[in-house]
Amino acid sequence: PLMIAISLLFYSTLFYFNTEYYDDFILFSFLIGALPYTTYRYFEFRKIKKYEEIFPDFLADLSSSVDSGMSIPQAVAICSKRDYGILTDEIRKIHRLITWGVPFEEVLRRFSFFVKSPFIEKFVYLIIEANRSGGDIREVLSSASRNSKQLKEIERELKGNIAPYMIIMYMIFGLFLGMTILLYYAFLVPMSTIEGGEIIYGISLEGYRTLFFRLLMLEGFFNGLIMGKITNGKVISGLKHSIAMIVVSYIVFYFLGV
C-alpha cells in the first residue's frame, strides 16, 4: 500500500499539478498509505491492551501458587491449565519451554518480546532481576501482581478523564468545519457574484475553495495526531482520528458542493 500511495502521489504531481483533481489525488494517496497501517496498528494495540488487562491476573495466580509452596515450574504448570483468554496460549508456551529445560529468565524474555508490551516488559524485567539477585521471588511476584493491578486501575481512570478532551477536540474540528462552510456560502459566494469572479486580492472563488479544502485536511490531520499524543502518549496512534476527520471533511465538503 505504501508503494502504491507513493506512486499515486508521484503520478498526480507529474500529470495533475495545478488542476482541480490534484488535491483529490493527494488525499487518496494519503488514505491508501495510512489506512492499512492504521488498521494494523489499531488491532495490534487492542491485542496488547488485552494482554495487559489479563497479565495481572496471571501474576496473582502465579504468586498464590508460589506462596502455597510450589516451585516456579509447578506454579506455571498450574496456571497453564487455567483460562486467561488471549493470554492462555502464551502461558502454555511458557510452561512447555520450562518443561523442555529452557531457563525461567529466558522464557520470560521470550514472552516479553512476543507480546511487545512496555507495561508487561517492566514487570518481567523486575521479576528477572529479583530472581537473578537471589531475592524473595514470592514477595516479588506478590508485589508485581498488586502494582500491575493498581497501574491498570490508574490507567482506566486516566482514560475516563481524558475522554471529555477527545470530545472537545472533535467539537473544535466540527466548529472549524462549520465555520468554513458558513464563510464560503455566506460571504465568499455573494462576494464573487458582486465582484465578477474575483473576491479579495484577485483570488477567485475556486482559489478560496482550494484554500479552505487544504486547511480542513491539515486541521483534521494534525488534530488527530494531537489526540493520539493526549490519549496514548504516541502521535502515531492518532492517525485513526486524523483519517476519520479527513474523510468526514471530504464528504461534507463535496456533498454540500463547495
Res 171: pLDDT = 92
Judge whether 38 lies within some domain. no
Q: What is the pLDDT of residues 100-115, one digit of tens each?
A: 888 888 888 898 888 8
Of 141, 144, 133, 126, nearest in space to 70 by CA: 141
What is the average pLDDT value for the chain, to the nearest integer?
81
The residue segments making up the domain with residue 102 are: 55-155
Res 175: pLDDT = 92
Alpha-carbon distance of 258 to 252, in angstroms, equals 9
Q: What is the pLDDT of residues 114-162, one digit of tens each?
A: 888 888 888 888 888 877 776 677 788 888 888 888 888 888 888 888 8
Contact yes or no for 12/28 (Cβ under 8 A): no
Judge whether 93 lies within some domain. yes
Res 23: pLDDT = 73
Judge whether 64 lies within some domain. yes
Judge whether 116 lies within some domain. yes
Res 13: pLDDT = 55
Neighbours of 33 (CB within 10 A): 18
Q: Is the pLDDT of residue 17 over 60?
A: no
**Torsion of the alpha carbons at 168, 172, 175 and 181, rounded to the nearest 10:** -140
Stretch among 5-9, 49-53, 231-235 having the lowest mean pLDDT: 5-9
Q: Is the pLDDT of residue 212 over 70?
A: yes
Res 8: pLDDT = 53
Judge whether 222 lies within some domain. no
Res 9: pLDDT = 54
Judge whether 139 lies within some domain. yes
β-partners of residue 203 are: 200
Query: 240 φ, ψ to 5°?
Result: -65, -35
Contact yes or no for 199/192 (Cβ under 8 A): yes
Average pLDDT over residues 76-94: 89
Alpha-carbon distance of 138 to 159, in angstroms, equals 32
Q: Is the pLDDT of residue 6 over 70?
A: no
Angle at 220 (CA atoms; ends 41, 21), nearest 5 degrees? 100
Stretch among 22-31, 72-81, 156-165, 178-187 having the lowest mean pLDDT: 22-31
Element (H, E) at 200: strand 198-200
Average pLDDT over residues 72-76: 84
Q: Is the pLDDT of residue 225 over 70?
A: yes
Give the chain's domain count: 1
Q: What is the pLDDT of residues 19-64, one digit of tens each?
A: 566 677 777 777 877 788 888 888 888 899 899 888 888 888 888 8
Q: For residue 238, what is the DSSP state?
A: G
Contact yes or no for 79/172 (Cβ under 8 A): no
Neighbours of 100 (CB within 10 A): 8
Res 170: pLDDT = 92
Judge whether 49 lies within some domain. no
Cell reading at 110: 521470550
Average pLDDT over residues 242-257: 84
Judge whether 233 lies within some domain. no
Alpha-carbon distance of 120 to 131, in angstroms, equals 17
Alpha-carbon distance of 230 to 119, in angstroms, equals 18
Concatenated DSSP letters of 131-174: HHTT--HHHHHHHHHHHHHHHHHHHHHHHHHHHHHHHHHHHHHH
Rg (CA), the chain: 27
Contact yes or no for 25/12 (Cβ under 8 A): yes
Contact yes or no for 148/55 (Cβ under 8 A): yes
